């Protein structure tokens, strides 16, 4: 009986070991690494997650768009993959000239937080601009492989994609000599000029101007926490625009209340994917651009150096991503509570920088979880 019992026990152990081995194999295969190669000229359809406007957006503003779910599989991309972009030029509607906004695309961000630099341009998704290959992917037609395109405020929709005849910046060129494809026909048709307003959900094409090589993991959407390009924890969550990398506080939100910002008695509105947070040292970090806009503070953002310069106060102030030293008026240096961070394409700054940039007194009310800026 002892031998039989011992044999049964050994059999059970071996069976359990085999099951564990099979589970390990399953886990390993679920985390298999896949290489995705996207040739130059590939066009990826995306849906905008942020609002862009020729009257309010400024050069250097960042935004993101989600790869359309119906197309993600065709490119081998996980559902929820995002493409980050930058406003490279904007001109508001003037007299009879339409508003114009130009964008570029700089980074692909996977749902697990991994990101890859790309060189992407705007292109339409109409059959005159793109064609579908046998593998299901869209590519730019030969005549549109190198077009420099922009949105112009014409027609019944949010904006018409037109060609640009010059490589000069939008701010420096005369509009008549700037716009090419489609512009003449619009003028002859007496279409009403207006500002461009691109709302969340707007579909656009991202044309890759260089080949991109990405890496994906089959179980990326099941990953809970990842290190990103900051000191924050990033998790994949669902929200109104689909799967997005959300920043969670190191201390959590015990009362379930988001941190808010008020300028005098006015609430500052933030995008649902980029809101104020507490970092792991309990320092409040705030997306800087919405606050500067609400306070009507002019600013510039250099995408190459990742440096923001606010010029609305008596003394201009600048701050670069990754440093906690702000430079005031080109000479005076001020130490901040924490370094500026770039999270999911958005620049976050501590409260002291908001005070320097706006000229307002700034404090954090922990009871209401509110950053309060008060004019002096």
State which of 217, 233, 258 marks the end of a domain. 217
Claim to verify: residue 155 and residue 47 sit in the same structural domain: yes
The residue ranking higher by pLDDT, 270 or 186, is 270
User: Residue 294: pLDDT above 60?
Assistant: yes
State which of 217, 237, 257 marks the end of a domain. 217
Domain that holds residue 49: 34-217
In a domain, 308, yes or no: yes
Q: Considering only 91-95, 158-162, 219-223, 285-289, which range has the smallest mean pLDDT?
A: 219-223
Q: What is the CATH number of the domain that holds 96?
A: 2.40.128.260
User: Residue 200: pLDDT above 50?
Assistant: yes
Claim to verify: residue 213 and residue 263 sit in the same structural domain: no
What integer pLDDT is reported at residue 170 of this predicted model?
53
Claim to verify: residue 171 and residue 206 sit in the same structural domain: yes
Claim to verify: residue 190 and residue 255 sit in the same structural domain: no
**Radius of gyration of the chain from its Cα atoms, rounded to whole angstroms:** 25
pTM here? 0.51
In a domain, 21, yes or no: no
User: Residue 66: pLDDT above 60?
Assistant: yes
Residue 52, exposed/middle/buried by CB under 10 A (0-12, 13-18, 19+)?
buried
User: Residue 49: pLDDT above 50?
Assistant: yes
Residue of 126, 155, 109 lying closest to 273 (CA atoms): 109
Tell me what the mean pLDDT of segment 222-237 comes to.
33
Claim to verify: residue 252 and residue 202 sit in the same structural domain: no
Claim to verify: residue 232 and residue 190 sit in the same structural domain: no
Claim to verify: residue 117 and residue 255 sit in the same structural domain: no
Residue of 7, 42, 241, 30 lying closest to 140 (CA atoms): 42
Claim to verify: residue 204 and residue 235 sit in the same structural domain: no
Give how far Cα 331 sits from Cα of 127, 318, 349, 350, 370, Å: 54, 11, 20, 20, 32
262-295 CB burial, b ≥16 within 10 A, e <16: bbeeeebebbebbbbbbbeeebbbbbbbbbbbbb
State which of 202, 217, 232 marks the end of a domain. 217
What integer pLDDT is reported at residue 320 of this predicted model?
94
Domain count, the chain: 2
Claim to verify: residue 57 and residue 87 sit in the same structural domain: yes
Give how far Cα 10 sits from Cα of 18, 19, 101, 349, Å: 12, 14, 72, 61
Per cent of the chain over pLDDT 70 is 71
What integer pLDDT is reported at residue 179 of this predicted model?
52
Claim to verify: residue 255 and residue 207 sit in the same structural domain: no
Claim to verify: residue 293 and residue 210 sit in the same structural domain: no
Q: Which pLDDT tens digit goes with each residue over 160-183?
A: 777 665 555 555 444 444 555 445
Q: Considering only 35-49, 122-136, 147-161, 345-359, which range has the smallest mean pLDDT?
A: 147-161
Claim to verify: residue 140 and residue 273 sit in the same structural domain: no
């Amino acid at each position: 009986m002892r031998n039989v019992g011992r044999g049964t026990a050994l059999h059970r152990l071996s069976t359990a070991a085999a099951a564990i081995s099979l589970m390990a194999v399953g886990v390993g295969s679920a985390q298999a690494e896949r290489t995705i190669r996207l040739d130059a000229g590939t066009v990826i359809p995306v849906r905008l997650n942020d609002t862009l406007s020729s009257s309010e957006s400024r050069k250097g503003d960042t935004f993101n768009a989600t790869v359309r779910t119906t197309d993600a599989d065709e490119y081998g991309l996980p559902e929820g993959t995002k493409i980050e972009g930058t406003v490279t030029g904007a001109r508001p509607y003037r007299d009879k000239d339409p508003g114009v906004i130009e964008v570029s695309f700089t980074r692909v961000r996977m749902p697990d937080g991994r990101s890859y630099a790309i060189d992407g341009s705007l292109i339409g998704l109409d059959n005159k601009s793109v064609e579908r290959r046998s593998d299901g992917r869209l590519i730019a037609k030969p005549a549109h492989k190198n077009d420099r395109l922009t949105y112009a405020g014409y027609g019944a929709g949010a904006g018409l994609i037109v060609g640009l005849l010059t490589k000069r910046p939008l701010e420096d060129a005369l509009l008549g000599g700037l716009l090419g494809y489609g512009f003449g026909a619009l003028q002859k048709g007496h279409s009403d000029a207006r500002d461009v307003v691109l709302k969340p959900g707007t579909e656009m094409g991202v044309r890759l101007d260089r080949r991109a090589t990405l890496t994906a993991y089959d179980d990326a959407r099941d990953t809970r926490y990842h290190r990103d390009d900051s000191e924050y924890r990033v998790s994949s969550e669902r929200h109104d625009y689909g799967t997005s990398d959300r920043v969670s506080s190191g201390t959590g939100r015990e009362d379930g209340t988001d941190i808010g910002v008020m300028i005098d008695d006015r609430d500052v509105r933030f995008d649902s994917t980029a809101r104020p947070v507490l970092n792991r040292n309990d320092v409040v970090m705030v997306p800087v651009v919405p606050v500067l806009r609400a306070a009507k503070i002019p600013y510039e953002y250099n995408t190459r150096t990742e440096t923001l310069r606010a010029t609305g106060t008596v003394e201009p102030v600048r701050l670069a991503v990754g440093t906690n030293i702000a430079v005031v008026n080109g000479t005076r240096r001020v130490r901040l509570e924490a370094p500026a961070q770039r999270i999911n394409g958005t620049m976050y700054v501590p409260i002291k920088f908001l005070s320097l940039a706006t000229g307002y007194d700034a404090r954090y009310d922990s009871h209401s979880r509110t950053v309060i800026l008060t004019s002096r």
